[in-house]
């Protein structure tokens, strides 16, 4: 769902926020209006957290609270609606939170332990197809103790549970306004977050105003935010250039990023902030396909793919090469594929195939989706085809389908090789390993690897100190290298483009790459 200068760079730039605040005075002494208009192509599919496991999180982070969250600069969950949360046992199976005193929803109802229990229970009861119920697989039951204590009892050790609670999918809702048995569809929100949803028009805009009763970690630098939704990136960039919006997040193509970066040197009215992203792209190989199921074929492809050329030619530097399923910026990241294969080498690839008795060019069909990951996907696969065929060792046929039919195809095992992307739920290495292995792999094909599923992951989930499990994740990544069932290609970068008078862009994206609108502000002129 849910992406990210680096966190260190963001921390260095954080001092800029000292200039922020509502009611700043310009050099003429007049008050600077702290209302920000943001454009995006990331429109929510739902306003109900119980149905949200997608880009709906972008809006939800700003209008709801979760028990714990990710303040700017933090890579581990910290209290939000909770005063504190902690595991109360040594096996990471009992997680207890104390609710912050005096919280209430925008309808006036108290946000207490019962409301927290209700919010989580309705997710598991509704079981919305494609919704976040799948994130709660380790939850047994929720217990309340008085008005301010809630205890989550887990069926097995799961040190990632606090990260799950920090996702906007676990947003807290007012029981009186949300049915226990069905999704809310009236276009309204009753939350306790930094902003209230004043109005919402699907496909057009969401109007947010400051919540006067909010109690949480967010230091709001503005009074109100209008989020305008665009279907395509070109109109949103045009709106920025014409000063019809103040900032952009989500929706910039590589060409537009480069254009805006070049424009910074010529036009002082625009600026762009780069943030390290955690969204990744990779190839999936079908083990039942005669060619793709041969590990020698997969290793030869891994030996030939030139990630540097791919990101330079297709993404123009707006992505960076990825040599592990755990991306840069996430604890436990390695460069295991580079360590194993080094730079692209046609001779080495030929040796791998020859040793396996393969002397003729390998014929394979590569599939990709046309409408899920942006307009650069087709050129990306054309470049992969060029690289592999240029070696003389492969003949590649490219085919594509829209996401819905594409997804149906790969879940049925119809594609020999196909491209996938992954937008993490939370910034922990578990979320870049666990979803891809086991019977329910998100690739649509079981990937049974007992050492990962039954040994390494259970070991790491017993350890609440996530910095203490790097060895297990390093081993898991090495297993993925040996099998080459998945071939990481690149990880994205995120960008916030804005007018020169807008500050806070460097702090606005949290570790889930969800936009924290409260960090944006209009600068005073000096």
pLDDT in tens, 441-475: 889 899 999 999 999 999 999 988 888 999 999 99
Radius of gyration of the chain (CA): 24
Task: Kindly tell me if the per-residue pLDDT of 270 is higher than 70.
Answer: yes
pLDDT band at 53 (very low <50, low <70, confident <90, very high): confident
Structure token digits, residue 282: 């990779």
pLDDT in tens, 119-154: 999 999 999 988 899 899 999 999 999 999 999 999
As a whole-number percent, the residues of the chain with pLDDT over 70 amount to: 92
Task: Kindly tell me if the per-residue pLDDT of 265 is higher than 90.
Answer: no
Q: Is 340 exposed, middle or buried (0-12, 13-18, 19+ CB in 10 A)?
A: middle
pLDDT in tens, 307-336: 999 999 999 989 999 999 999 988 899 999
**Between residues 13 and 298, the one the model is more confident about:** 298
Residues 6+ apart with CB under 8 A from 476: 433, 452, 456, 457
What pLDDT was estimated at residue 91? 86
pLDDT band at 31 (very low <50, low <70, confident <90, very high): low
State the chain's mean pLDDT as an integer: 90
Task: Kindly tell me if the per-residue pLDDT of 380 is higher than 90.
Answer: yes
Pairing state of beta strands 224-229 and 35-40? parallel
What is the average per-residue pLDDT within 424-446?
90
As a whole-number percent, the residues of the chain with pLDDT over 90 amount to: 73
What pLDDT was estimated at residue 266? 58
**Between residues 268 and 95, the one the model is more confident about:** 95
Q: Side-chain half-sphere of 460: how many Cα atoms within 13 Å?
A: 26
Q: Is 223 exposed, middle or buried (0-12, 13-18, 19+ CB in 10 A)?
A: middle
Task: Kindly tell me if the per-residue pLDDT of 184 is higher than 70.
Answer: yes
pTM given for the model: 0.83
pLDDT band at 90 (very low <50, low <70, confident <90, very high): confident
What pLDDT was estimated at residue 276? 78
Task: Kindly tell me if the per-residue pLDDT of 201 is higher than 90.
Answer: yes
């Amino acid at each position: 769902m849910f992406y990210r200068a680096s966190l260190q760079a963001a921390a260095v730039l954080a001092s800029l926020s000292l200039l922020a605040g509502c009611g700043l005075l310009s050099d003429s002494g007049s008050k600077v209006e702290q209302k920000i208009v943001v454009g995006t192509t990331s429109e929510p599919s739902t306003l109900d957290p119980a149905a949200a496991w997608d880009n709906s999180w972008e809006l939800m982070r700003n209008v709801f609270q979760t028990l714990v969250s990710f303040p700017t600069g933090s890579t581990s969950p910290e209290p939000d609606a909770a005063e504190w949360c902690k595991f109360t046992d040594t096996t990471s199976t009992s997680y207890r939170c104390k609710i912050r005193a005096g919280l209430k929803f925008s309808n006036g109802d108290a946000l207490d332990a019962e409301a927290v229990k209700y919010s989580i229970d309705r997710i598991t009861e509704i079981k919305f197809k494609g919704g976040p119920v799948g994130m709660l697989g380790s939850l047994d039951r929720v217990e309340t103790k008085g008005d301010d204590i809630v205890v989550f009892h887990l069926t097995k050790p799961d040190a990632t549970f606090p990260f799950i609670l920090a996702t906007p999918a676990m947003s807290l809702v007012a029981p009186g306004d949300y049915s226990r048995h069905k999704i809310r569809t009236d276009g309204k929100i009753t939350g306790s977050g930094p902003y209230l949803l004043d109005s919402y028009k699907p496909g057009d805009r969401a109007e947010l105003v400051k919540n006067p009763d909010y109690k949480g970690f967010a230091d709001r630098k503005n009074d109100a935010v209008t989020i305008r939704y665009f279907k395509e990136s070109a109109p949103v960039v045009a709106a920025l250039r014409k000063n019809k919006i103040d900032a952009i997040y989500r929706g910039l193509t590589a060409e537009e990023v480069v254009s805006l970066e070049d424009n910074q040197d010529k036009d002082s009215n625009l600026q762009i902030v780069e943030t390290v992203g955690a969204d990744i792209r990779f190839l999936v190989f079908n083990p039942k396909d005669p060619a793709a199921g041969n590990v020698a074929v997969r290793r030869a492809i891994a030996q030939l793919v030139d990630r540097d050329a791919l990101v330079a030619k297709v993404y123009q530097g707006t992505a960076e090469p990825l040599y592990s399923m755990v991306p840069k910026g996430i604890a436990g990241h390695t460069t295991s594929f580079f360590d194993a294969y080094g730079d692209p080498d046609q001779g080495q690839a030929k040796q791998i195939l020859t040793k396996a008795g393969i002397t003729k060019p390998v014929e394979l069909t590569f599939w990709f989706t046309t409408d899920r990951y942006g307009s650069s996907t087709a050129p990306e696969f054309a470049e992969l085809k060029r690289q592999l065929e240029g070696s003389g060792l492969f003949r590649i046929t490219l085919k594509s389908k829209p996401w819905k039919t594409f997804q149906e195809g790969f879940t049925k095992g119809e594609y020999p090789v196909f491209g996938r992307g992954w937008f993490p739920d939370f910034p922990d290495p578990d979320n870049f390993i666990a979803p891809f292995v086991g019977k329910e792999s998100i690739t649509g094909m079981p990937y049974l690897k007992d050492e990962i599923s039954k040994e390494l992951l259970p070991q790491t989930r017993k350890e609440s100190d996530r910095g203490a499990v790097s060895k297990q994740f390093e081993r898991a990544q090495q297993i993925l290298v040996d099998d080459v069932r998945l071939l990481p290609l690149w990880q994205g970068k995120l960008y916030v483009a804005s007018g020169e008078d807008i500050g806070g862009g460097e702090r606005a994206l949290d570790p889930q790459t969800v936009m924290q609108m409260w960090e944006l502000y209009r600068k005073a002129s000096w």
